[in-house]
Amino acid sequence: MKRFLAPLCLLGSLLQATEPCAGPTSEFQLKGDYLLGGLFDIHHFSTPYHQERPEAMHCSSKPFLLPHYRWFELMRFSVEEINNSTSLLPNVSLGYEIFDHCSDAQNFPDVFKLISANGLIQPWSDPQRNQSELIGVVGPFTSSQVQTVAPLFMEGLIPVVSYGGTASIFSKKSQYPSFLRTVHPNKETLNVIVDIILHFNWRWVAFLNSDSDFGIDGLELFRKMILDTEICLAYTKSLDENVNYSRMFKQIEAQKVDTIIVFASRMQAEAVIESAIQLNVTNKVWMADEGWSLNTRLPKMQGIRNIGTVIGVSQPVVTIPGFSDFIYSTKNQPPCEDLEQQTFCNQICNCSDLSAEDILDSDPSFSFHVYSAALGQFVEKNRVAPGQQGVVSRELGKELVVVPGPGRNLHTEPAFLVQ
């Protein structure tokens, strides 16, 4: 524990030397009586990165993720709704501090900024010392990101509401006492997938999973679920950056597997499907988890209809009233000048050329999860008293909808509705 506290104190003290935004507030920041943190991977970074000394990752130089920027805007919209309400937080205002959290393990400065008080972090309990203004955190998205940063918030019982952390371990309240999520855990999604496989009497399956906490947890759960069934797991593959798709599909064909479960991130799933098209993999049944069930890019790919049938498991898409108006109004505002000099690290988007239509037409997956994660912290809560913290745990969107994917029947109604 002492070995952990020393670098924590050092990194906390270094925050004093970093000046926050001194001019007009950026879209990453809003002042208020209480502070809500936000962690969104607006840019993507996955390859190994070597540093000779500890320093912040510059996310804005990495590939931009438009659907994730939509989530970022949804949090801003949710806070505006809370502040405009006369019942959720009467007579007080809610602010936010949002960060581009593009790495699982190299974005700690933003987390330390959130838990700091006046630029300092105290890794011990002392009620006489200044406490952070933070009353809750929305995010992060992936299970690996949650597992990395959540323990720092759990120490102070700061609510962390993830809109995508589905791994089973987060259900252990002894380890994650103030963790909540607005997305179904892996177990529930896989229960639906197993039920579908049994219903259609598909017995010989392959399981492709991301090489992450999310994917590994999914594979372990699936193995346990099929123990007492007639489902046979003929092939498994962990999808890392070095996967050979040609060899993988040859091995799947050699096993005569026709049902393929892809339990992976959106980008990994896109890579799998793109490779299947290029390698002329046809007449398969593809099972999609929520991460790519509602993907808007895949149906537009040439040759997508040749791969077979794609069945996706997802929570229903919910239209969020007022969000479109919010996007159009914010995109009409002039950008802040000298933004890089006014913000903390990883509070720069470099996306001023985006139109409102670009944002609204992007992949809607997880949009309601983000909206619920922000708004759900205050719905049904009459008041947040000074010095108190709180979060309301709500079960949002109980249904899991099984939707026909980009292989065929793109415009039909959902095949199943699982309550």
Q: Is the pLDDT of residue 404 over 90?
A: no
Q: Give how far Cα 198 sits from Cα of 64, 146, 203, 206, 226, Å.
A: 39, 33, 8, 15, 10
Residue 126 has pLDDT above 80, yes or no: no
Q: CATH 3.40.50.2300 in the chain, residues?
A: 12-184+318-375, 186-314+400-418
Share of the chain above pLDDT 70, in %: 76
Mean residue pLDDT across the chain = 81
Summarised one tens digit per residue, pLDDT across range 217-238 is 999 999 999 999 999 999 999 9
pLDDT top residue among 337 and 159: 159
The model's pLDDT over 9-26, given as tens digits with 9 standing for 90+, comes to 444 434 433 444 333 457
Task: Check residue 33 and report its DSSP letter.
Answer: S
- DSSP 8-class letter at 413: P
User: Coil, strand or helix: which one is 338?
Assistant: coil
Range 12-184+318-375 classified under CATH 3.40.50.2300? yes
- The whole-number pLDDT of residue 314 equals 86
CATH annotation of 186-314+400-418 = 3.40.50.2300
Q: How confident is the model at residue 261 (pLDDT cuts 50, 70, 90)?
A: very high
Biggest CA–CA distance in the chain, Å, is 67
- Which of residues 52 and 78 earns the better pLDDT score? 78
For 208-217, what is each residue's pLDDT tens digit? Answer: 999 999 999 9
pLDDT at 160: 95
Determine how many CB atoms are found less than 10 A away from the CB of residue 251: 15
pLDDT value at residue 86: 83
**Is residue 253 predicted with pLDDT exceeding 90?**
yes
Label the pairing between strands 308-314 and 400-404: antiparallel
Of the candidates 269, 216, 219, which has an alpha carbon nearest to the alpha carbon of residue 245?
269
pLDDT of residue 380: 40
pLDDT digits (tens, 9 = 90+) for 339-393: 444 456 677 887 778 999 999 999 888 999 999 998 876 654 433 343 433 333 3
Burial 61-80 (b: 16+ CB within 10 A, else e): ebebbebbbbbbbbbbbbbb
Higher pLDDT, 60 or 362: 362
Residues 339-348 pLDDT 10s: 444 456 677 8
Provide φ and ψ at 12, rounded to 5°: -65, -40
Residue, of 10 and 33, whose pLDDT is higher: 33
β-pairing verdict for 400-404 and 416-418 = antiparallel
pLDDT for the residue numbered 41 = 93
* Integer angstrom CA distances of residue 15 from 30, 55, 108, 131, 340: 19, 12, 11, 15, 17
**How far lies 389's CA from each of 67, 151, 156, 175, 417, in Å?**
31, 17, 10, 19, 37
With CA atoms as reference, report the closest residue to 145 among 3, 39, 277: 39
Q: Which residues contact 391 (CB under 8 A, 6 or more apart)?
A: 136, 159, 161, 178, 180, 376, 377
Range 32-38 average pLDDT:
93
Cβ neighbours, 10 Å, residue 139:
28
Distance CA 281, CA 240 (A): 20
Q: Which residues contact 196 (CB under 8 A, 6 or more apart)?
A: 287, 311, 313, 402, 416
The string of DSSP codes covering 352-372 is TT--HHHHHTS--TTHHHHHH
pLDDT band at 286 (very low <50, low <70, confident <90, very high): very high
Residue 216: predicted pLDDT: 97
* 234 touches 217 (CB < 8 A): no
pLDDT for residue 235: 98
Half-sphere exposure in the Cβ direction for 109 (13 Å, CA): 20
Residues 135, 93: Cα–Cα separation, whole Å: 12
Least confident of 321-330, 395-404, 405-414: 405-414
- pLDDT at residue 413, as a whole number: 30
∠ CA(345), CA(348), CA(351), 5° rounding? Answer: 160
Amino acid found at 100: D
Rg over alpha carbons for the chain, rounded to the nearest Å, is: 22
Tens digits of per-residue pLDDT, 180-196?
Answer: 999 999 999 999 999 99
